[in-house]
A and B are shown apart, each in its own frame.
Chain A
Amino acid sequence: MLFGRPSGSAGSAPAGRRNLTARLDPSERVFRAIARAGGAVVLVLMGLVGTFLAYRAWEALRKAGLSFITTQDWNPNGGGFGIAAIIVGTILIGLIAVAVAVPLALGTALYISEYAPRQFQRGLITLIDLMAAVPSVVYGLWGAFLLQWHVVSVSRWINNWFGWIPIFKVDDVTRHAVQPTATFYTSSSFIAGLVVGLMITPIASSIMREAFSQAPVGEREGALALGATRWGMIRSVVLPFGRGAMIGGTMLGLGRALGETIAVVMIISPVFHIQPYILEHGTSSVSSLIALQYLEATPFAVSALMAAGLALFALTLLVNFIAAHFVTRSRSGALSEI
C-alpha cells in the first residue's frame, strides 16, 4: 500500500479522515482571486448585454404581443410591426449563403489538406485566414459594385428557364420577355446570399480543414494499401472522420451569415413583405433593418428594434449551440480536445 497511509500513527487505526485539500499560499490565493474576478467581469459584461437587450425588448414585445411574429410590416410608431417578413428574409439569405459556402469550403478544405503540395499548405492556410479577416465593408463594395452586375445575367437565365419553380419566379417578368431590364434582378436575396456565402466560406473551411488533417494516418494508409484511389480514400476515411466538423463548420457559418449587416445593407433594398422569390429585386434582414432605422427611431422604436435583434440573437444562438454540439461530439472534435 503506497497511498493513503496515515503517517505517524503506524499500527493503530487511522484517527478520523485525513485532510486532502491543500492549503494555498497567499500568492496562490491572490492569483485565484484575480482570475475569478476576471471571469466574473466578463460574465457580468456579457450577461449585461443579454439581459439588457431582453429587458428593453420586453417593452415592445408586450405591446405587440403575438402579432410580433405574424406581422410583416414595420411601423413601430403607429400601426403594426412584426418580424414575419424580415426573419424570412434573414433566413433565406442565410440559406443561400450556406448553399454557396458549403461546396466552396469543402473543396478548399479538401484541396489544402489532401491535394495541395506540402510546401504551399501553410501559405494557403494563411490566405484562407486572411480571407476571413477581410472587412465586411470590402465584401460589400465588391458585391455591390462588381459582382451584382455580372450576376444579373445569371439571375435572368435562371428565371427564364427555371421560373416555373416557385422560388425562382420574378413578378412582372414573363418568360423570354424581350430583355427585361437589369433592375428587376438587382438587390435580391440571391446576390446578397452569394456575397455573404463568400464571407463565411473561410470560416467553415478552416474548421473542416482542421478536422480533415487530423484523420488518422493508419486508416488513410490502410485504404490506400487496399487499392483505393485518392478519392476513394477521402470518401471512406477522411469525410466520415470529418463529418461532425463539416456539420459544425456549416452551422457556424450559418450563424455568421444570419448576423451579417454591412455587406447585406449595401446590396439589398428593403421591402416589408414576405419575399420568397430569391431572384427578385428587394428583400430585408433583421440586422440591415437595425442599421437603416436606428437613427430616426423614437425610444419605443429602439425597443422594437431590440426585440427584432433579440429574435435574431436567439436564432444565431440556437445555430451556434447546434454547431458546438456537432463539433465536440464528433470523432474529429473529440480528438482535437486534448
Chain B
Amino acid sequence: MAVLPFPSAGQPGGTESGAGAGARTTSTRLGRSEAPARPPSPRRLSGARLADVLAVGGAGAAALATTGVLWTEIGPFSGIVGYVIVSWILFVLIYAFLVSLDENRPTMRDRVAATVVHSLAFVVLVSLAFIIVYTFFRGFKALVHLNFYAKDMHTTGPLDPLTKGGLLHALVGTLIELAIAVGVAVPLGLLAAVFLHEVPGRFSRFVRTVVQAMTALPDILAGLFIYATLILIFGLQLSGLAAACALAVTIMPIICRAADVVLRLVPGGLTEASYALGSGQWRTVMYVTLPTARSGLATAVILGAARAIGETSPVLLTAGATNYLNFDPLHGPMMSLPLLAYTLVANPEPNYITRGFGAAAVLLVLVLVLFSIMRAIGGRGPGQLTGRQRRRRLAESRRDLDRITQQTAIEQAADSAAQAGSPSRWLLPSSWLPGRRP
C-alpha cells in the first residue's frame, strides 16, 4: 500500500487490510502510530493573492507614470481623455507582461480578457453616471429656485435672473401629452399583441411583420407624418393633441412588440390546463394568460412611456413651442420638457442654458420615477410571484382544500346513507355518486 500523505482517520480499511495480509500490517500500524501529519492549510480557491494585487498595482502605477512623462516631457499631447486612453493601453500591456512572468500563456490571456471586460463595463457605467451627474450639475442653479417649478416663461426675458420664470408649462404639457399618447397607444398595442398571440394565422403573421417593420420607423418620420396629415391636410393646429398622436405612432409598435414577446413567454402548460378544465379562449386570456404575464406587460408599457416622455423629434414638428402655460391639448401650441431643453440651449444666454439643463434634469427625474415604478411592479418572469401574491395563492388553495374535504365528507355521508337505504340521495345529484347508477 502506498503511503498516503494524509492517512484519513476513522477509515477502517487500513486495519482490515492489515488483518488480511500480515506483511502489510506493520506499515499500516506504522502509519497510524505516528502522529498524523498536520494537513497544510487548505489551498485558497478564491480571492486575490498578493502577487495579483502587486501586478495590478504595479502595472497601474507604471502606466500612470509613463503617461505622465509622455504628456509633460516628451510628446505634443494634451487633454484628459487622451491621457486616460493612453494610460489604459499602457496598463494592459504592462499587466500582461507582469502576469506572463509567473503564469502560463492561457492564464495570461484570461487575466487580460478579464481586465478588458471589466474596464469596458466600467466605461459604460461611468458614462451613464457622468451623463446624469453633469445634467444635474449644470442645471443645479435653476433647480434650487422654487419658481422654476411654479412659473412659465412668458414674462421672462433673455437677461432675467434665474429667480424669474420656470418650466411649469413644459411639465404640464409633457404630462398631458404623455397621458393622451399612452391612453391611445397602450390599449391598442396590448389588444394587438393579444391578437397576435391568440389568433394565429396568415393575417396575424402579416400584422406582426408590419408591426416589426414599424419599430424601425425613425421617430422624426412619425412627427413628419402627423405634420403632413393632421396639420397640413386636416388643418389641426400645432397642439398638444398632434404631438400626442405623433408620440402614440412612435410608441405603439414598441409596446405591441414588447407585449407580444412577453405573452409568448407564458408557459404553454398553464393555458393548456385552463383549456383542459373547459374554459374558453376569452376566459383563458382574461384569467390565465394576462395575469401570468402581468409584470412583463407592465414593463412593456412603462418602457413605452419612458420612450414617449423623452422623445423630442416628433414633438418638435407637431407641438409648436410656446412660453405660455396651456392646459388645452386641442388649441394652441404646447411645450414639453425635452422640447424646452432643446430650445433653451439653442440660445447663447447662460441663464437660458442653465434652465435648459434644469429642464433636462427634471425630465431625468420623471424617467427615474417611471423606472422605479417598473422595478417595483415588473421585472419578474411569467409566473414568478411576489411575497404577497404567494401568500394569497396559499390562502386560496387552503380554502380549496377545506372545500374539497367538506365535499368529500358530504359525499361519503351520502354514500353510506344510500347503502343504508335511507332516502337522503337528494343531497347530491345522482351523477356525483360513483358506481351508483341504477
> How far apart are A327's CB and chain B's nearest CB, in angstroms?
11
- Interface flag for A266 (CB, 8 Å): yes
Q: Provide the A101-142 mask, 1 if CB < 8 A to any CB of B, else 0.
A: 001101110111011100000101011111101111111111
Q: Find out whether the CB atom of A262 lies under 8 angstroms from the CB atom of B224.
A: no
Known: A137-B360, A140-B342. 16 other contacts (CB 8 A): A36-B199, A38-B188, A39-B191, A107-B116, A107-B123, A128-B124, A135-B309, A138-B364, A231-B114, A232-B109, A258-B218, A287-B220, A294-B224, A302-B228, A306-B228, A309-B224
B residues contacting the other copy or chain, number (CB 8 A)? 101
Docked-complex contact B375 and A42, CB < 8 angstroms: no
A–B Cβ pairs within 8 angstroms, 26 of them = A31-B282, A32-B281, A35-B199, A40-B207, A42-B188, A42-B207, A43-B210, A49-B225, A104-B123, A111-B118, A115-B117, A122-B379, A130-B128, A133-B303, A136-B312, A137-B338, A138-B360, A142-B134, A151-B81, A153-B79, A154-B81, A198-B131, A258-B218, A260-B218, A266-B345, A291-B317
Nearest-neighbour CB distance to chain A for B86, whole angstroms, equals: 9
Is residue B161 contacting chain A, with contact meaning CB distance below 8 A? no
A41 at the interface (CB under 8 A from B): yes
Whether B124 and A309, one on each chain, are in contact in the complex, defined by CB atoms closer than 8 angstroms, is: no
Enumerate chain A residues within 8 angstroms of B80, measured Cβ to Cβ.
Answer: 150
Minimal beta-carbon separation of A199 from chain B (angstroms): 10
Contact residues of B between 102 and 144, Cβ < 8 Å to A: 106-107, 109-110, 113-114, 116-121, 123-125, 127-128, 130-132, 134-135, 138
Residues from chain B with Cβ under 8 Å of A28 in the complex: 280-282
Which residue on B lies nearest to A110, using beta carbons? B117
Check if A27 sits within 8 Å of B117, measured CB to CB.
no
Among A136, A153, A290, the residue within 8 A (CB) of B310 is: A136
Binds B, one of A7-15, A78-86, A310-318: A310-318
A92 to B145, CA, bound (A): 43
Cβ contact within 8 Å between A291 and B316: yes
Q: How many residues of A are counted as interface, with CB atoms below 8 angstroms from the partner's CB atoms?
A: 100
- In the complex, the chain A residue whose C-beta lies closest to that of B77 is A157
In chain B, positions 21-67 with a C-beta closer than 8 Å to chain A are none
A313 lies within 8 A of B221 (CB): yes
Q: Give the contacts of B348-381 with A (CB-CB under 8 A).
A: 353, 356-357, 360, 363-364, 367-368, 370-371, 375, 379
Q: Please name the residue on chain B nearest to A232 by beta carbon.
A: B106
Docked CA distance A258–B80 (Å): 30
**Given contacts A42-B211, A151-B81, are A337 and B264 in contact (CB under 8 A)?**
yes
Question: Residues of A contacting B128 with CB < 8 Å?
Answer: 127, 130-131, 134
Q: State A131–B364 Cα separation when bound (angstroms).
A: 11
A152 vs B119: C-alpha distance in the bound complex, in angstroms? 23
- With an 8 A cutoff between CB atoms, is B306 at the interface? yes
Chain B residues proximal to chain A, CB less than 8 Å: 76-82, 85, 106-107, 109-110, 113-114, 116-121, 123-125, 127-128, 130-132, 134-135, 138, 188-189, 191-192, 194-196, 198-199, 203-204, 206-207, 210-222, 224-225, 227-229, 232, 249, 252-253, 256, 264-265, 267-268, 280-282, 285, 303, 306-307, 309-313, 316-317, 338, 341-342, 345, 353, 356-357, 360, 363-364, 367-368, 370-371, 375, 379
Q: Is the CB of B210 within 8 A of A53?
A: no
Q: Which residue of A lies closest to B341 (CB)?
A: A137
What's the least CB distance linking A273 to chain B, in Å?
23
Give Cα A44 to B371, complex, Å: 32
Pick the contact of A135: B78, B281, B360 (CB < 8 A): B360
Residue of B with least CB distance to A316: B216
Please tell me if the beta carbons of A135 and B363 are within 8 angstroms of each other in the complex: yes
Does A186 sit within 8 A of B, measured CB to CB? no
Q: Using Cβ atoms and an 8 Å threshold, which residues of chain A touch B130?
A: 142, 146
A32: contacting residue among B191, B199, B216, B220, CB under 8 A:
B199
